[in-house]
Amino acid sequence: MSELPDGFAVPIYRAVLKAEARLSLGAPRDFTIINVAGAAIAFLWRLWPLLPLAVVLQLGAAWATRLDPHWLAKGWRVWRYKAYYKS
């Protein structure tokens, strides 16, 4: 690689790139908020069998996040543009 002259290279900070997903409990923050809100509603309505489902969903989302940190954003994008890509 060739060296760049002075003034042609600047540091790029991670906050500017948004390269890392914002996580809560190991999963994307949007998913976690929806999951916890659903679990709270299930708790208030005394739907106890749904609480273990919320735990399993959160663990699955954390596992998927380890594989691909942006899986939820990609999934929303595919869902939104599905009609455009019909074959």
Instruction: Tell me the per-residue pLDDT of 33-75, one tens digit each, with 9 for 90 and over.
Output: 999 999 999 999 988 889 999 999 999 999 999 999 888 888 8
Tell me the residue range of the domain where 67 lies: 22-80
In a domain, residue 13? The reply is no
d(CA 27, CA 39): 16
In a domain, residue 3? The reply is no
pLDDT at res. 84: 62
* Domains held by the chain: number: 1
Q: Which tokens belong to 28? A: 């994307």
Q: Which of these, 29, 14, 15, lies nearest to 73 by C-alpha position?
A: 29
Share above pLDDT 90 across residues of the chain, in percent, rounded to a whole number: 39
The predicted model scores a pTM of 0.68
pLDDT at res. 17: 67
Please name the residue that has the structure tokens 């500017």.
16
